[in-house]
Amino acid sequence: MTWEIGEEIVKKILEKAPYAEGRVRRERRLEFKIPAERIREFLMIMKENNFPLMLQISAVDWVRDGEIELVYHLMNIELGTHAMVKVRIPRDLDKAKMPTVRDIYPAAETYERDVHDFFGVYFEGNDKMEMPWILDDPERGLYPHRKDFDMLGYVKKKYKILDRFDENKDKYVI
Amino acid sequence: MVDWRLFEPLFNWARKKSLWIVSFCTGCGGIEMPPLMTSRYDIERFGIIPDPSPRQYDLFLITGYVTPKTLKRIIITYEMAPDPKWVLAHGSCPLNGGVYWDSYNAIKHLDKYIPVDVFIAGCMPRPEAVLDGIHKLMEMIESGEADGWKRYRENYEWYRKNQDELLGKGWREKEARKWIPWLVDKKKEVKE
Ligand code: SF4
């Protein structure tokens, strides 16, 4: 399905940012893929092109690829159009770093702290990164939303229960 | 000298007729509170009111899953209240973890950390079920069965041990110290 207004917006943005890939997913939904180091530049272009609102930064952990995908969700209120800006960064803790976009979209501050707490991506330049946020002390530094986090092992260790975690049973009864 | 214990049945009757709920909705069950309080079920007709102050309440509704972080606040709020006080736990999460039984961050037995008088099963219990639980609690108060506050005082060591095991020793002081600098001066944030 084509959506002409969307095609126009994508074309206009891609002219200014030739390094990006962009397409119309469906009506009112655009998708861009860009290299991680161009994110600030690209978000500035997006903001100038009438995407003034950041809804969320979500993260997807691709264990097999060894990458974390960050999705910046932007909104154009006039057209009700939702744009996703996707970047991929390595998932090793020392390499999972991104520049902050807090000065472009102030709302990004909390989303960046979320992603840092749960996925361990470090946003350079956001000075609240190290502060306590959602997770409590014992969980901080474990990144519980990463796919390779050993959830059951952690639960057993922490709460010291129950026969429902018995490994010899093949079905857990909830 | 009057022996006030003689009047205990009268007091218990009065207590059951004037339960005040602390406004501290901990989980998804909190969404059952609006219909319960407003014209649909109107529990004010039983003399129950929601009360923002933790020092005056006597009924504590744990409305759903409890995370260790919330548990700290729950324990502190619970200990602040004067005796006698009662706890009513909503839903399967405080009972045994419910749908969050394998989650890293939801406690599995609320009963290990604070005494619970009435449990309501279900995910999530309807307001009728909550009403029923409150009725049950009222009966228990009148007959003197609802003695969670007494159990807490008598077995404080055991509860304290469980709390410290989960939350770490000295968590009260640590928690207070963690947030005070942040409230006082935002520049001097603690990195811990
Ligand atoms: S029992 Fe169900 S409704 Fe209640 S807190 Fe748990 S998940 Fe939520």
Q: What is the pLDDT of residue A167?
A: 59
> pLDDT tens digit string along A69-121?
999 999 999 989 999 999 999 989 888 899 999 999 999 999 999 999 999 89
Could you tell me the distance, in angstroms and rounded to a whole number, from the CA of residue A9 to the centre of ligand 1? 43
CA distance B166 to chain A (A): 7
B177 touches A: beta carbon within 8 Å: no
Q: Is the CB of B115 under 6 A from ligand 1?
A: no
Q: Which of B105, B110, B189 to mutate to test binding with chain A, by most A CBs within 10 Å of its CB?
A: B105
Which of chain B's residues have a Cβ under 8 Å away from the Cβ of A139? Answer: 104-105
B188 touches A: beta carbon within 8 Å: no
> pLDDT tens digit string along B85-115?
999 998 888 888 888 888 888 888 888 899 9
The CATH number of the structural domain formed by A4-158 is 3.30.460.80
Domains of chain B, residue spans:
4-190
B161 touches A: beta carbon within 8 Å: no
Q: Which fold has domain B4-190?
A: Rossmann fold (3.40.50)
> pLDDT tens digit string along A26-79?
889 999 999 999 999 999 999 998 999 999 999 999 999 999 999 999 999 998
Which of chain A's residues have a Cβ under 8 Å away from the Cβ of B104? Answer: 139, 142, 144, 149, 151, 154-155, 158
Q: What is the pLDDT of residue A104?
A: 92
Q: Which of B65, B66, B67, B104 to mutate to test binding with chain A, by most A CBs within 10 Å of its CB?
A: B104
Q: What number is the ipTM of this complex? A: 0.74
Q: What is the pTM of this model?
A: 0.81
State the residue for tokens 């000065």.
A103
Query: Sign of the CA dihedral A132, B67, A138, A148?
Result: negative
Q: What is the pLDDT of residue A13?
A: 92
Q: What is the pLDDT of residue B169?
A: 86
CA A57 to CA A59: how far, in whole Å? 7
CB pairs under 8 A between A and B: 43
Q: What is the pLDDT of residue A156?
A: 81
Which of chain A's residues have a Cβ under 8 Å away from the Cβ of B111? Answer: none
Strand-pairing partners, residue A123, are A98
Question: Looking at the predicted structure, is the pLDDT value of residue A174 above 50?
Answer: no
Asked if A138 lies within 8 A of B103 by C-beta distance, the reply is: no
Angle between helices B171-184 and B68-80 (to 10 degrees): 100
Q: In this structure, how many other beta carbons lie within 10 angstroms of the beta carbon of residue A158?
A: 17
pLDDT (tens place) for every residue of chain B, 192 residues total: 788 888 888 998 998 888 899 888 888 888 888 898 889 888 889 888 888 888 888 899 999 899 988 999 999 999 988 888 999 998 888 888 888 888 888 888 888 899 999 999 888 888 899 999 999 999 999 988 888 999 999 999 999 999 998 888 888 888 877 767 666 665 555 554
Asked if A132 lies within 8 A of B178 by C-beta distance, the reply is: yes
DSSP chain B: ---GGGGHHHHHHHHHT--EEE----SGGGGGHHHHHSTTT-GGGGT-EEES-TTT--EEEE-S---HHHHHHHHHHHHHSPSS-EEEEESHHHHH-GGGTT-TTS-S-GGGTS--SEEE-SSSPPHHHHHHHHHHHHHHHHHT---HHHHHHHTHHHHHHHHHHHH-TTHHHHHHHHHHHHHH-TTS----
Give me A94's structure tokens. 């020392």
Q: Mean per-residue pLDDT for A10-33? A: 91
CA A99 to CA B58: how far, in whole Å? 50
Which of chain B's residues have a Cβ under 8 Å away from the Cβ of A132? Answer: 178, 192
State the residue for tokens 């529990």.
B43
Asked if B104 lies within 8 A of A130 by C-beta distance, the reply is: no
